A and B are shown apart, each in its own frame.
Chain A
C-alpha cells in the first residue's frame, strides 16, 4: 500500500520533530505526490488548504507546534487516500495543499497491492494496470460504505477520472430542534429510513407506484436517479401530448446526453463527499495535535483555523466543467435573440453548483417564460390607452389589465411551486432543510443523540439555566434606561425653568449622569447571578432533574 507506507515512515520521523528544519520538512511534504501529478496536471484538484508557513517573531516551540500539526493534517488526509499536493506560495509565506480524490487507477493500486510498491514504480504500475470493467470498487463507493451513506452509484462512460459518480445521498440525517427532544415525556424519535423510496415520498403513494412500475418495466438495473428520470419522462410525454410543450427529445436521447455530459456531473456532490471525508479524517487521525488531543469535537477546520494551523479551506473550480458551461450556457445566453427561448441547463448547473444555485436559474427561466403573457397584453393595452386618451393615459382598459395580472400572479405562483417540487423530487432535496453550523465557541458535553445516531455535543445545564436570564436582563435594563433618560430630561427642563430664558450654558444633563449610572449595576448583577444560581442549584440536587432531562 504505497500511500500508507509512505505516511508511516513520515509518522516515524515525526516522533523526533526537532531533527528536521523547516526547509527540510517543507521539501519532504512537497516532494511527495509530485510524481502523481505529472500525469494529471494541477487542474483537477477539488480543494485547496491554505496553511500559514511564515511565522516570524514567534517562539520556537510555538512554531514547532504549528508545523507538526500541519504535517499531521496532511498525513491524515493522505491516510484516507486523498491525494494531496503541497505547493509553496510565491512569497513563501503560505503552503497551498491541493486535495483531490484518487483516480480509479490510483485507488485500484492502493486496494489491490498490499505489498510495498516503491515510489518510482507508481506511474509505470498505474499505466500497466488493466482497466477493470465494470469498476467494482472505487474511492467514492468505498467511502460511501465507510460513511454509511446510502449512496447511489451509476456508471458513466466518460466519467470523472474513471470513477463512477455519486448522484445522490438518499439518506440524510434529519435534524429537529434540540428542545423538542429534551422536553420530558416526549416521544422518542425514530430514524426515518429513506431507503427504497424516492426522496420525500411516503410508501404507497401514487407517485411511488408509478415510478416503481416504470422501474420494473425498464429493468432492474435502474437506480433511484433513473426512476426520477422515468418520472420526468412521463411528465414530459404527458405535456407533449396534452399541450404540445417541450418533449422535443426522446428519453433515450435525453439520457445519453446526460451520460455524455457525465464529465461534469456531480461536481458539487463530489466536493460534498470529499469534504465529508476531510472532516472525518480530522476526527479520526488528529491524535497528536495539542489542542484537540483530548477532545474529538475540536477536531475541525474552524478550530484549526483558530489555532493558526490552517488559514482557509477553499473548494476549487473544475476547468473542463467551467469550459463546458461557458460554451453551452454563458455564450448561448448572450449570443442572440435565440437566447430568449434557450433553456438554461438546469440539471448541469445543479450538478456543478449544487441545488441552491440551480433553483435560482430555474426560477429565472420560469419567470421569464411566464412574463411573456403580461408583456404582450400590457403592450396592447398601452396602445389602446394612447389611442383613447393621449394626455392622461387614463382608460377603463386598465381595470381589465389589473384583473388579468391578479389571475396571472396566482397562476404563476402555483405553477412555480409545482415546478419547484418537480425539480426538488428529481434532485432529491424535497424535504431537506438547512443545517445550522455549530459555533466554534460552543462548549457542550458528549451525549448520545438519537437523531444523529451517534455521540454529539449537547447543551450543558448551566447554560440552559443561564438563558432564563436573557429577557429579565433586557427588561431590567430597559427600565433602568427609562428611569435614567427621563430623569435626565426632567433635570434639563427644570434647569431651564429655573434659569429662565437667558442661561443654560452648563450642561444640565451631565449632572444626572452620576445618579443614572447607579442602575447599571443591576444588569451586571443579573448577568452573574444566573451562573451562580445555577451552580448552587446543581450542587443541591438538580442532578436529578438533569438525569430526567437526559433520559426523557
Chain B
C-alpha cells in the first residue's frame, strides 16, 4: 500500500487529470442538458408524464455514461490505471 509520500505524489501526478475530467464532464453535462431540454420542448409532449419520460431517458442515459466512463476506463482499460501504475501496483 502507498505510504504518505506516495499519496502526495499520487495527488501531484493525477490530481489535475481528475480536476480536468470533472470540469470537462460538467461542461459536457451542461451543454447536453441544454440541448436535451430544448429538444424535448420541441417534441411538444402533451402530458407531464410523457414529457418527463422523454427528457429523463435522454438525460439519464447520457449522464451515467458521462460521469462513469472515465472511472471505468481508468480502472480497467487505461494504461495509467491500477494495473499500470508503478505506485499502486506495489
Interface: A422 (CB within 8 A): no
Interface: A486 (CB within 8 A): yes
Interface: A242 (CB within 8 A): no
- Where chain A touches its partner, the secondary structure class is helix
Contact of A509 with B17 in the complex, beta carbons under 8 Å: yes
Please indicate the chain B residues that have their CB under 8 angstroms from the CB of A380 in the complex. none
Please indicate the chain B residues that have their CB under 8 angstroms from the CB of A18 in the complex. none
Given contacts A485-B69, A493-B78, A509-B17, contact A466 B61 (CB under 8 A): no
In the complex, A436 Cα to B52 Cα: how many Å? 12
Please indicate the chain B residues that have their CB under 8 angstroms from the CB of A437 in the complex. 47-48
- Whose C-beta in chain B lies nearest to the C-beta of A444? B46
Question: Which of B13, B17, B20 has the largest number of chain A CB atoms within 10 A?
Answer: B17
Interface magnitude class on chain B: 35 or more
Contact of B46 with A178 in the complex, beta carbons under 8 Å: yes
- Nearest 3 pairs of A and B residues by beta carbon: A463-B44, A436-B47, A509-B20
Question: Which of A459, A497, A507 has the largest number of chain B CB atoms within 10 A?
Answer: A507
Contact of A436 with B43 in the complex, beta carbons under 8 Å: no
Q: What distance in Å separates the Cβ of B86 from its nearest Cβ neighbour in chain A?
A: 7
Please indicate the chain A residues that have their CB under 8 angstroms from the CB of B21 in the complex. 488, 509
Please indicate the chain A residues that have their CB under 8 angstroms from the CB of B69 in the complex. 481-482, 485-486
* Known interface pairs A466-B39, A466-B42; 14 further A-B residue pairs with C-beta atoms within 8 A, sorted by A's residue number: A441-B44, A462-B44, A466-B44, A470-B39, A477-B32, A477-B62, A482-B65, A482-B69, A484-B28, A488-B21, A493-B80, A509-B17, A509-B20, A527-B38
- Whose C-beta in chain B lies nearest to the C-beta of A485? B69
Please indicate the chain A residues that have their CB under 8 angstroms from the CB of B41 in the complex. 441
Please indicate the chain A residues that have their CB under 8 angstroms from the CB of B14 in the complex. 504
- Whose C-beta in chain B lies nearest to the C-beta of A504? B13
Contact of B46 with A459 in the complex, beta carbons under 8 Å: yes
Interface: A125 (CB within 8 A): no
Contact of B42 with A530 in the complex, beta carbons under 8 Å: yes
**What residues of chain B have their CB less than 8 Å away from a CB belonging to chain A?**
12-14, 16-17, 19-21, 24, 28, 31-32, 35-36, 38-51, 54, 57-58, 61-62, 65-66, 69-70, 73-74, 78-80, 84, 86
Q: What distance in Å separates the Cβ of B6 from its nearest Cβ neighbour in chain A?
A: 12
Please indicate the chain A residues that have their CB under 8 angstroms from the CB of B12 in the complex. 504-505
Please indicate the chain B residues that have their CB under 8 angstroms from the CB of A516 in the complex. 24
Per-residue B-contact encoding for A453-482, CB less than 8 Å = 1, 0 else: 000010110110011011101100110011
Q: What distance in Å separates the Cβ of A172 from its nearest Cβ neighbour in chain B?
A: 18
Q: What distance in Å separates the Cβ of A229 from its nearest Cβ neighbour in chain B?
A: 36
In the complex, A320 Cα to B78 Cα: how many Å? 71
In the complex, A24 Cα to B84 Cα: how many Å? 82
In the complex, A436 Cα to B51 Cα: how many Å? 11
Contact of A492 with B65 in the complex, beta carbons under 8 Å: no
- Whose C-beta in chain A lies nearest to the C-beta of B40? A470
